[in-house]
Structure 1
Amino acid sequence: MTGIANPGEIIYNRYMLKRIIAFLIVMVMTLSLFGCGSGGQKISFDVVVNYFNRVSAMDFSSAHECFWQYGSTPPLDDYTASYEYAVKTLGITSISFSEPEYTKLSDTQYDVSAELTYTSSLAGEVTLPFEAFVVLDDDGIYIAYNDNIILPDYQNGDIISYITLTSRRGEIFTSDHVPIATNSYGDTVYLDVPATADASDSISRLASLLELDGDEAVSIKKSFEEAESKNYGRVVVKAYARNSIDEELESRILEINGASIDRSSLTPQRYYPYPGVYSHITGYVGSQTEEDVKKSEELGRSVTAQIGKSGIELSKNDVLMGTDGYEVRLYSSDGQFKSTIFSKSAQNGSDVVLTVDSSAQNLAFYLLAENASSEQTAVAIVMDTNSGAVEAMANYPSYDTNAFNYPISQEDLEAMPLFPNSTQGLYPPGSLLKPFTAMPALEDGLADMDTLFPYENEIVDNQWTPSTEAWPWEPITRDEKPKGEMNMTNAIKSSDNIYFGWLALQMGADRFCSFMESIGIGGQMPFDLPVAKSNLINDTTTMDRKLLTDMSFGQGEILLSPIQLASMYSAFSNGGNMIQPRIIDGVFTDSDGAYTATTQSEPGSFKTEITSQEIIDKLLPALREVVATGTAAAIKSDGLTLAAKTGTALKGSDKTKESSWVIAWYDGMDKNKLVLVLVDGPRTEGTYKLSVAKALLKAGAVDTPVITDAPASSDTTPSPSSKI
């Protein structure tokens, strides 16, 4: 029938129409998902992935294609210039993004969030939030630009400023909390720009007074002119170490129009309040070498900060040195501050507290300074034999560590007595070794304390030539005959070389050397400061009986540092255990107002059970006799029970120099104190070692108050001593 539709066809056509409409809807939606760099691939949100990849590759021109052409999207040149400026200014070396997350806001808009990480040579690794909208329009999917997409609140033309937040170097304190290495400021001569009426005249007069050369004067004049044009308040003329400008010079400086002196802000420096007294303990700081700079860069530390060059400043540099922080600030094109984009707080260095007692150290140093001649070096050590705490370690002569805040000529440097004799000096111990020669002989039963020397009738003019075997060498010599019988007790008391030479021949070289090695001779003792490796016998030397006898009384090729000898003698107070000396009590950090120890040292042993308590008990009476009636009788003091040993080792081919020693300690007292004094120099001029030791032993017996508060501020440090 014409004009009448078949019902089946109508149903079919409606079905096909619905299919076609559904297909078209899918096509439209699929086309709407095409975006920048999708390459025609039908992948949702490829625009974000492509943007991340292109920015990570620092292909900013290509990344710009991913932005929606409407809204606040900057022109291509502005966008690339802004990103390249940020990369250059911050030293950005790589850019990365985390996996993005999407939140649907509407059918045409999604929120995308991720983490944007910049790796910067200035700031290290910095992670910022990446937040943006993804827009779906008829052309595809795009990222809507915003001012936070490169850096927070960052617009084209803005100025990025990187500011270093300087960390504070930790300070060094004595056990009684006296600051001995602090952060302070130097004496700085400057011109007050607004107050200077005639700059040329003032600069000329200062140049003459302060001995500035022509180039320095010209440079100051240029700095002054620049300061005037930029409205700066002050121009530095010359900086000195703290307290270097005396009253007379200060008065003459202040007479010059516009000239003044700053002591609190212009020239930061490391300050040592007691020049000379602690110099060989604290050491000093100096500028970084190329190698130091490389290490600082690896650790994220300041490459311009001073670092430790010797002493505790060097050995504990890693904990004393802080880590600088930074702020990255954003300014508008007209210089107005907008915001701090990101920052990292400075981490100040930790303080180091020593075991050194300020009273003991000052006394030890000044006793040496008052007695030592210009031809001598001297060392005084006070140590607690129970804990190993070094309470004083004085070296003389000494030097002013403050001098290293400024350039030093090679001539002046070479004239400075920088060498730390107490730890790095190696000396023949002389008769100090004799009790240790006795130990293996007593252990092996070769002799006892009352064993007599069997060849006394062969001694002529205090010289003995061994007769049991051929002896092609010079005789063994002693200073004088012991009073009483020639047994071990009297040989120790009178320091008889002949007796101990004979004793060494009885035990033989192998036994003698193996025992000396067992107590650390020939090795290096650990300590908080570098200690020189001791010497028993040179590698190229062939042992013979003459050398063995010389070694038995501390000569030959035996060399020891004073601090190692102090450890050896601590065995007499510790049942045969040699205490491990320590000069650092702990490392302390001020965190949120609480001053707490991050590390703290504990007593320990350098060598254990070098001999038995039985052998110690045999030797101690003889060492007490050294004080009672022997070579150390001059140190006797009322109220003190002491044991001691003296020693003298002649040096040089003409024997005109000597190392003169005394070691003494409290014996059977409540306190545990040992004093060592060494005087090295011309022969027979070191007898004052006994008066120095006596004064230190008497002072050590006096109780001093224990201070438990945090160390005093370095702002209250006392005036420096005038004697070095």
Structure 2
Amino acid sequence: MRKLIVIAIILLVGVITACSDDNATPSDRFSNYINHWNEKEFDKMYAMLSKSAKENYPTEQFVDRYKKIYQDLNVSDLKIEAEPLSDKESEKAMKDGKVSIPFSVSMKTTAGPISFDYEANLIKQEDKDKENWYVDWDTGFIFPEMKDSGELRIDSTTPARGEIRDRNDMPLAMNDTIYEIGIVPENLGEDAEQNKKKIAQLLGLSIESIDEKLNASWVEPNLFVPIAKITKEDEALWNELVAINGITRQETTGRIYPGGAATGALVGYIGQVTAEELKKQKENNYSAQDTIGKRGLEKLYEKQLRGIKGSTVKVINDGEETILAEKEAKDGENVKLTIDINVQEKIYNTLDGDKSTTSVIDAKTGETLGLVSSPSFDPNEILYGTTTNIWKKLEEDKENPLLNRFSSTYAPGSVIKPITGAIGMKNGTIDPKEGLNISGLTWSNGEGWGDYEVTRVSESNGPVDLHDAIVRSDNIYFAMQAVDMGAKAYVEGLKAFGLGTDFPFEYPVTASSISTSEKLDDEVLLANTSYGQGEVEMSSLHLATAYTAFLNDGNMLKPTLLTSEEKAQVWKDKLITPKQANIIKEALRDVVVDGTAKRSAKNAKFPVSGKTGTAELKLTSDSDGQENGWFVGYPTDDEDIIVSIMIEETKGNSGLSTEKAVEILHKMKE
């Protein structure tokens, strides 16, 4: 009996299931279709099409077409809605085996919002011995205007890229006419291979790359095939090229960098977007044909510079054009810098290829006038150069022109000593008038130091006070003061000067660091840090910024890069008192008059103040290492600009940084 009941229940469930399939309403069925559509599940939508629709539109014509169109349009916020049929309409549909259901579609696209109303025809058909409702689909479901062979076209308008300009509106990155060099295959003549070889040599291309372009599927014998771009200034190159059969040119617009290598590290360059970048920029409507900022300011301000593409979505049917959505292109914004191209070029030319970083700021406003990394690269060479394997050449260059030195940090050496002195005066551990009795050229604090000793360049003829210690650059004085001050107080002072925290600047500059742990728990490390050795590192721009405190009554200014930024912002206020700032200034003046910079600055045409520094980079205390030379200084009388310069590998010529800094100041004051 129990077995019969179980069998009966199974049969009953089967009957109910069969009835639910056979009696599914068209509204329920179309609701499922809409759900798949809203989720862009095109393969599941295709499974619900009628037999005739599937015959007319194979899978790839349906699924792949939907995917491509929605992808090209960058469709988002897709919403399809339909009102359910009334009971009376459903009853009639079940009787007739067919029904029409109105629905509405809305979406956002690259060209703006698109919405439309359409009508879906559903028919009842048998499939695999079961009846169900199927959508009798046509191309009008994509857009009504596409019904009856309408062709969808998406036209894109590229906006003009914004320019990067200096404080005087001189262009650093601009859009200008360039020449696209191309070959008309049928004009190469009988010596085609020899001509291609000449072209390859002149343009720094391989013959294989030229052949690849000439063998593209779209190429016809009489068509212009672009192979390279050159600037208008390359007229001599063009004169050589035009003498070769088959060569011609067309004018187009390209990105030009008037500052060349002088601004290369700062401004950067643009380039063809890569597949990886396309993935990252998925939401920002880039295509494989677009360019994108690759480095420097071009990359940093990509969003502002790029602008917004214009787009028109239209359907062409029987010669008639229907616009579905349209958005005008919006040109990119210009970016105006506080940088002065004249200052930038004067710095770069003065450095003359030295491995160096130089920052120049307005001491009263905080505006950055120059940011130079040397040696550098010319962005025009990267975009339009004719050097074969330009990237390989740059990457293998031992001078490392691709390294952005002004955004990097280095051991500051003795240029940190005025900062150490300021910290001690602020916290009361250094009395500027009190002299320390120091004998000999070495000093150790005894137990815990092992064999390590702090050394100084020259002996003193009596007690050493702060002024004398800065002028003579006495390592032992600052080491003693830091040890007496203690790690906690000194670290707090360094942090007050902005070390160990993000540097507040538009361009990414590496944060200056106190040590690898941002602590000075080891007393030897504390002593070494006080005079710019140990693990402390600062950027040239941070050092220039720190010195603004001495010229602004103890207030350190915030460095700015854009003219739109507020001038003379205070980053760190009341680091020292105005009186203490004057004590530091007097010492900085005497560094040049009677101290470590006297010989190097002997040719100064006007009074200069500043601090020299030598940072020795070595693995052990008894080994020789690379020496980097520093100078941070300013015109004594005007106190209007601060130059911070570091030159690598100055061993044997420690005064080179001072000489270069003075030369830069001269050129700026001309």
Shorter-chain TM-score above 0.5: yes
Question: 2:231 aligned with 1:242, yes or no?
Answer: yes
Aligned partner letter, 2:314: R
SS in 2 for 1:614: helix
Q: Once superposed, what is the RMSD of the aligned Cα atoms? A: 4.5
Query: 5+ unaligned residues in a row in structure 1: which ranges?
Result: 1-38, 65-73, 101-111, 133-145, 587-599, 703-724
Task: Report if the CA contact (8 A) 1:355-1:585 is conserved.
Answer: yes
Residue 305 of structure 1 corresponds to which residue in structure 2?
290
1:625-666 Cα shifts (integer Å, max 9, x gaps) = 223332334547888554311111222253352121111124
Shift of 1:363: 0.5
SS in 1 for 2:406: helix
Change (3 A) 1:75 1:422: closer
What is the deviation of 1:163? 2.4
What is the alpha-carbon distance in structure 2 between the residues aligned to residue 296 and residue 161 of structure 1? Answer: 23
Of structures 1 and 2, the larger Rg is shown by 1
Amino acid at match of 2:570: S
* Structure-1 residue corresponding to 2:197: 207
Residue-by-residue CA offset, 1:585-623 (whole Å, 9 max, x unaligned): 34xxxxxxxxxxxxx455433333222223213322222
Tell me if 1:393 matches 2:371.
Answer: yes
Rounded Cα–Cα distance in structure 2 between residues aligned with 1:222 and 1:471: 73
Pick closer, same or farther for the CA change 1:302–1:320 going to 2, 3 Å: farther
Query: Superposed, which structure 2 residues align to 1:492-507 within 5 Å?
Result: 492-507=470-485
Do the aligned residues in 1 keep the contact of 2:348 with 2:372 (CA within 8 Å)? Answer: yes
Percent of counterpart pairs with the same letter? 23
Cα offset for 1:159? Answer: 2.2
Mapped to 1, the partners of 2:435 and 2:108 lie a distance apart of: 80
Query: Is contact 2:187-2:245 (8 Å) kept?
Result: yes
Partner residue in 2 for 1:157: 149
1:517–1:344 CA distance, 2 compared to 1 (3 A): same
Is 1:227 the counterpart of 2:190? The answer is no
Equivalence for 2:402 = 418
The SS at the match of 1:285 is strand
Deviation sequence 1:123-151 (CA, Å, 0-9, x none): 4763245499xxxxxxxxxxxxx999964
Q: Which AA in structure 2 matches 1:300?
A: N
More deviation in 341-350 or 632-641? 632-641
Q: Identify the match of residue 333 of structure 2 among 350, 356, 380.
A: 350
- Contact residue 116 and residue 128 of structure 1 kept, 8 A: yes
Quote how far apart the aligned CAs of 1:384 are: 1.0
Q: Which 10-residue stretch deviates more, 390-399 or 282-291?
A: 282-291
Match among 523, 526, 550 for residue 548 of structure 1: 526
Counterpart of 1:660 (choices 619, 624, 629) is 629
Among candidates 248, 268, 277, match of residue 292 of structure 1? 277
**Is the aligned partner of 1:90 residue 2:90?**
no
Query: Which residue of 2 is the match for residue 487 of structure 1?
Result: 465
Query: Which residue does 1:712 correspond to in 2?
Result: none
Q: Confirm or deny that 1:429 pairs with 2:412.
A: yes
Q: Which moved more, 1:165-174 or 1:79-88?
A: 79-88
In the aligned structure 2, how far is the partner of 1:638 from the partner of 1:429?
A: 24
Structure 1 position 679, deviation (Å): 1.2
Structure 2 partner of 1:3: none
| 5+ residue gaps, structure 2 | 1-22, 84-100, 120-137
Alpha-carbon displacement from aligned partner over 1:185-216 (angstroms, at most 9, x marks no partner): 654332347xx556554464133442465644
- Could you give the per-residue CA deviations for residues 41-71 of structure 1, whole angstroms, max 9, x where no partner exists? 9xxxx9xx9999699688799999xxxxxxx
The one-letter code matched in structure 1 to 2:333 is: S
- The normalised TM-score by structure 2 is 0.76
Matches within 5 A, 1:311-350: 311-332=296-317, 336=319, 338-350=321-333
Which of 109, 114, 121 aligns to 1:127? It is 114
Aligned length: 600
Note if contact 1:186-1:239 (Cα within 8 Å) is conserved in structure 2: no
Q: CA deviation at 1:566?
A: 1.3
Displacement of 1:571 = 0.8
Classify 1:339/1:234 alpha carbon distance in 2 versus 1 (closer, same or farther; 3 Å). farther
Change in 2 beyond 3 A, CA 1:546/1:116: closer
| 1:449 paired to 2:432 | yes
Displacement after TM superposition at 1:391 (Å): 0.1
Task: State how far apart, in whole Å, the 2-side matches of 1:431 and 1:361 are.
Answer: 26
> Aligned ranges for residues 503-582 of structure 1 at < 5 Å?
503-539=481-517, 543-582=521-560
Structure 1 partner of 2:164: 172
Aligned to 2:245: 257
The residue matched to 1:91 in structure 2 has which SS?
A: helix
Q: Distance in 1 between matches of 2:142 and 2:489?
A: 77
Question: Which deviations, in whole Å up to 9, do the C-alpha atoms of 1:422-472 show, x marking residues without a partner?
Answer: 121x222121121222224334544433322224xxx23xx1335887864
Secondary structure class of the residue paired with 1:691: helix
How far, CA to CA, are the matches of 2:483 and 2:267 in structure 1?
Answer: 45
Cα contact 1:360–1:391 (8 A) shared by 2: yes
CA distance in structure 1 between the aligned counterparts of 2:34 and 2:444, rounded to whole angstroms: 91
**What's the offset of the Cα at 1:567?**
1.5
For residues 102-130 of structure 1, what are the alpha-carbon distances to aligned partners after superposition, in whole Å with 9 as ceiling and x for unaligned? xxxxxxxxxx999642456xx47632454
The superposition leaves residues 55-101 of structure 1 with CA deviations (integer Å, 9 ceiling, x where unpaired) of 9688799999xxxxxxxxx999889999989746622778645799x
2:585 is aligned to: 620
Output aligned runs, 1:10-89, within 5 Å.
87=66
Return the alpha-carbon distance in structure 1 between the equivalents of residues 56 and 449 of structure 2.
Answer: 97
Structure 1 CA distance, aligned partners of 2:430 and 2:107? 77
Once residues 224 and 549 of structure 1 are traced to their aligned partners in structure 2, the CA distance between those partners, rounded to angstroms, is 70
For 1:624, what is the secondary structure of its paired residue?
helix
Cα deviation, 1:491-524, whole Å, max 9, x if unaligned, reads 2112122222232233233322332233222333
Mapped to 1, the partners of 2:500 and 2:139 lie a distance apart of: 70
One-letter code of the match for 1:631? T
Moved more, 296-305 or 638-647: 638-647
Structure 2 equivalent of residue 646 of structure 1: 612
Range 401-410 or range 510-519, more displaced:
401-410
**Secondary structure at 1:515 match in 2:** helix
1:685 aligns with 2:663: no
Aligned 1:183-202 pairs, distance under 5 A: 183-184=175-176, 187-192=179-184, 196-197=186-187, 199=189, 201-202=191-192
1:239-267 Cα deviation digits (max 9, x unpaired): 044368562x43342223342233x22xx
What is residue 182 of structure 1 aligned with on the other side? 174
| Letter matched to residue 207 of structure 1 | K
Name the CA distance, whole Å, in 2 between partners of 1:645 and 1:75: 83
Q: Which amino acid aligns with 1:179?
A: P
For residues 469 and 311 of structure 2, the distance between their equivalents in structure 1, rounded to whole angstroms, comes to 69
Note the C-alpha offset of 1:544: 4.1
